Amino acid sequence: MTDQTPAPYTGSQRVLSGVQPSGALHLGNYLGALVKFARLQHEIETFIFVADLHAITAWQEPAKLADQVREIAAAYLASGLDPAKATIFPQSAVGAHAELAWVLNCVARLGWLDRMTQFKEKSGQHKERASVGLYTYPVLQAADILIYKATQVPVGEDQRQHLELTRDIAQKFNHDFGAENFFPLPEALTQGPGARVMSLRDGSAKMSKSDPSDNSRLNLLDGVDAIAQKIRKAKTDAAPLPETIHELADRPEALNLVGIYAALEDRTPAEVLVEFAGQGFGAFKPKLADLAAARLGPVGDEMRRLLGDPAEIDRVLAAGAERARAAAEPTLAEVKQLVGFWGPGR
Ligand code: TRP
């Protein structure tokens, strides 16, 4: 890595992010990712893809994978992503991601990947049985971002390290190939740990699609009855809601439900407490259930409508893939030239 600070990147600003088609989407994905994507599309040129190349780092049933991709696309559309504004596409339909990933595999160092905590978590006790793809997954993620020269990447806290790696890879590529400022150094747009949606069964664990208890999460495809029931069963404590947020510091379940309420109404937790201070969960939970059903019900309904006739989704994905290819190809051509690959007249 270089010591001198390169001149600031002057290319245009672009947002890019993706979600893996490997399990049902839930409230955490909705608030932490989908709603944010839909907001950003009005401000900056936005690329949002379905990360199917990432998904196959763990086994995915071939007969189901395409439908899993459609389900994520349906969630994007139902959450307000507009194909006229954002470019929405399946990762595997744009070959440049994988091509750039190979070049970046030769830029990234083993020592850098050895530090990735998500690989350690996901590979667990049996590292030797994990796919090689799982190991090099963060390099593919860097390629996803850099192929569009994206500058802002909305992701969860757990992806921060992958964004730092992306910056390291971009910087080393620029340096090694004498192309200062070729790749921008992208920034993670995270919302900070306080705003995370936690499990309904355990306020200290993230709401997760891999949690064995389905009652721990509100899935986007849950009907309004299931939503109400899960909130009724959500773990809480016996104390009434306090007046200030810091009094919730050692009540993670209560804090989580207040946080969810606030996020669903686009208010701050403090504002929610002004309304509910002194009330117990017997009063708060039905209000939260109504609010969650009112916000998530229509999203689930729209997803079901779209999935009922996948032709519309397929049209969006095909058109998005074409636009994404057109945006990715110039970068790939430049990379090939910088690396020195053969080309006519070169
Ligand atoms: N790794 C991300 C996740 O699991 C998904 C992802 C893949 C991604 N490529 C990306 C996110 C590029 C942002 C940018 O959540």
What is the 3-class SS of 125-175, one letter each residue?
A: CCHHHCCHHHHHHHHHHHHHHHCCCCCEEECCHHHHHHHHHHHHHHHHHHH
Q: Where are the alpha helices (DSSP H) in 43-159?
A: 52-55, 62-78, 96-105, 110-114, 117-123, 132-146
Residue nearest to atom 13 of ligand 1 (CA): 17
Among candidate residues 133, 205, 121, the one with its CA nearest the CA of residue 161: 121
Residue for token digits 């850099």?
146
Best residue among 19, 139, 160 to mutate for probing ligand 1, ranked by most atoms within 8 Å of CB? 19
Distance 273 CA to ligand 1 centre (A): 34
Cβ neighbors of 55 (< 8 A, separation 6 or more) are: 20, 21, 22, 65, 68
pLDDT tens digit sequence for 183-217: 999 999 997 655 689 999 999 999 998 899 999 99
Q: Which of 36, 149, 172, 206 is catalytic?
A: 206
Q: Is 206 known to be catalytic?
A: yes
Rounded to 10°, the helix 132-146/160-176 angle is 70
Please report the pLDDT score of residue 210 as a whole number: 87
Please report the pLDDT score of residue 194 as a whole number: 55
Distance 279 CA to ligand 1 centre (A): 40
Distance 17 CA to ligand 1 centre (A): 6
Residue ranges of the chain whose pLDDT lies below 50? 1-2
Please report the pLDDT score of residue 328 as a whole number: 98
Please report the pLDDT score of residue 192 as a whole number: 62
Distance 271 CA to ligand 1 centre (A): 33
Among candidate residues 338, 2, 331, the one with its CA nearest the CA of residue 177: 338
Residue nearest to atom 8 of ligand 1 (CA): 18
Cβ neighbors of 268 (< 8 A, separation 6 or more) are: 262
Please report the pLDDT score of residue 5 as a whole number: 63
- When computed from its CA atoms, the radius of gyration of the chain, rounded to whole angstroms, is 22
Residue nearest to atom 9 of ligand 1 (CA): 141
Residues lining ligand 1, Cβ inside 6 A: 16-18, 20, 51, 54, 141, 144-145, 153, 155, 159
Please report the pLDDT score of residue 119 as a whole number: 95
Q: Do the Cβ atoms of 286 and 54 come closer than 8 Å?
A: no
Q: Is 120 known to be catalytic?
A: no
Q: Is 172 known to be catalytic?
A: no
Task: Supply the pTM of this predicted model.
Answer: 0.94
